[in-house]
Amino acid sequence: MPIDKKSAAIGAAIAAAALTLAFGLFLVIGGGSSPGAGAGKPDRSAVAAGKPPAPGPVASAAAHSIELSPQEMQKFKVAPAAEHEFSVEREAVGSIDFNQELSVTVFAPFPGRIISLFAKAGDDVRKGAMLFTLDSPDLLEAESKLIAAAGTLNVTTRALARARQLFDVQGVSQKDLDQAAADQQAAEGAMKAARDALRIFGKSDGEMDRVVAERRVDSVLAVHSPISGRVTARNAAPGLYVQPGAAPAPFAVADVTTMWMIANVAETDFPLLRIGQPVDVEVKAYPGRTFHAKVVNIGAAVDATTHRVLVRSEVRDPHHELRPGMFATFQIRTGRAVRSPAVPFSGVVRESDGSMSVWVAADGRRLVRRTVKVGMQQDGLHQILEGLRPGEPVATDGALLLNNALTAASR
């Protein structure tokens, strides 16, 4: 063999081996049998054999194909393009908050100094559970009035009984009997008012009867939780003097079985929203988890700066997993689901010009790159609006690798 032909053959063999090592597969562009494949490219197998290249078929610029051996085809998964139902949805971002309609601030009902605390922030409490006690001068005064009213009622009751006995034997006049009856009725009214005043402090009838029987006052007032829930804040300490309505409240309790998701929705999506619509909520703290909610309030005004509307959804959280301030995303269905061909994310490639493409299997060994129009992205799938029919065999993964290999082999 002449030296120049021998050198050319060795050089072509080395180039082919380097190409195989770089991409892990042997690529034959065009293959001489696929229209549009390798248009304008020389036949490399012919060059390696020292033969003049055969002219390739003419094809459009958008038609690109790649031919693989059976072993190389096994590295790629090819499956028929299946139809998938894509829901018409809108998405917004927001944050989690307590359900303010089920949250209460617990104030001291009367002025006093805190004695003891029985709960801390984060504790779950039942309705009626004791939160704190305080020394209340008002309670002391109310109990003293109850004891005095009970004594007065006892005296006037006995006086009325004696007046009736004397009236029967004409020992007193009718006027004296009427006065004794009036005094007894006034004492009964004072007694009832004293008991009602103590009832405001949370005292039961049994506790009031015990105060009257023992003639002993107790200034310790217990403050109870008005609802079952979680203590979300505690601003109390022993010795702190508190007054009704004075901020901050000693305790705050919230029912955390439901939470709020406050989302900022674009004003263009506002006409699509309705009260009661189901909502899917996802938080970054629980990737892959979906919390179910419903729209309970739509803002009455649009923010002039952001042109967004506040939408409040009520999220069910039976296991108390959500926390206020968590970043969340909001997906709401705004129309009927649409059935379309679908390709997994790994089977679709975004080209440099912004177009999207997939690889369609033309036969057992050849894959053809085809430009498609995509729509929604859901459940790990691209909705294919144009360029692919249901049932066509398509590479469902490795599309980017095929693109890179085609680019490198075409140089």
- Which ranges of 133-173 would DSSP assign to H, the alpha helix? 137-168
Residue 266 has what pLDDT? 87
In CATH, the number for domain 78-88+337-399 is 2.40.420.20
Tell me what percent of the residues of the chain surpass a pLDDT of 90: 33
More confident call, 14 vs 227: 227
Mean pLDDT over 128-157 rounds to 92
Residue type, 311: V
Distance of CA 94 to the CA centre of its chain: 9
Please list the residue range(s) of the chain that carry CATH number 2.40.50.100. Answer: 105-248
Q: What DSSP letter does each residue of 347-409 carry, written as one string? A: G-EE-TTS-EEEEEE-SSSEEEEEEEEEEEEETTEEEEEES--TT-EEE-S-HHHHHHHHHHH
Would you say 402 and 395 are in contact if contact means Cβ atoms under 8 Å apart? Answer: yes
Return the closest-CA partner of residue 329 out of 95, 152, 128, 106. 95
Residue 410 has what pLDDT? 66
Alpha-carbon distance 369 to 392, whole Å? 13
Query: Using one digit for the tens of pLDDT, what is the confidence trace for 29-60?
Result: 333 333 333 333 444 444 344 444 433 322 33
Residue 409 has what pLDDT? 65
More confident call, 367 vs 36: 367
Distance of CA 400 to the CA centre of its chain: 34
Residue 335 has what pLDDT? 66
Return the closest-CA partner of residue 387 out of 377, 374, 400. 374
Please list the residue range(s) of the chain that carry CATH number 2.40.30.170. Answer: 91-101+254-333
Alpha-carbon distance 310 to 266, whole Å? 9
Q: What fold, for 91-101+254-333?
A: Elongation Factor Tu (Ef-tu); domain 3 (2.40.30)
Distance of CA 201 to the CA centre of its chain: 40
Alpha-carbon distance 219 to 237, whole Å? 18
Angle of the 399-409 helix axis to the 3-23 helix axis, nearest 10: 160
Strands 229-234 and 124-125: antiparallel
Q: Is 245 exposed, middle or buried (0-12, 13-18, 19+ CB in 10 A)?
A: exposed
Return the closest-CA partner of residue 233 out of 101, 99, 102, 105. 105
Query: Using one digit for the tens of pLDDT, what is the confidence trace for 294-323?
Result: 999 999 899 999 899 999 999 999 888 999
* Residue 107 reports pLDDT greater than 70: yes
More confident call, 186 vs 53: 186
More confident call, 228 vs 406: 228
Residue 367 has what pLDDT? 85
3-class SS shares of the chain: helix, strand, coil, % to 5: 30, 35, 40
Please list the residue range(s) of the chain that carry CATH number 2.40.420.20. Answer: 78-88+337-399
Architecture of the domain whose range is 105-248: Beta Barrel (2.40)
Would you say 295 and 274 are in contact if contact means Cβ atoms under 8 Å apart? Answer: yes
Would you say 222 and 106 are in contact if contact means Cβ atoms under 8 Å apart? Answer: no
Residue type, 17: A
Question: What pLDDT band is residue 155 in, cutting at 50, 70 and 90?
Answer: very high
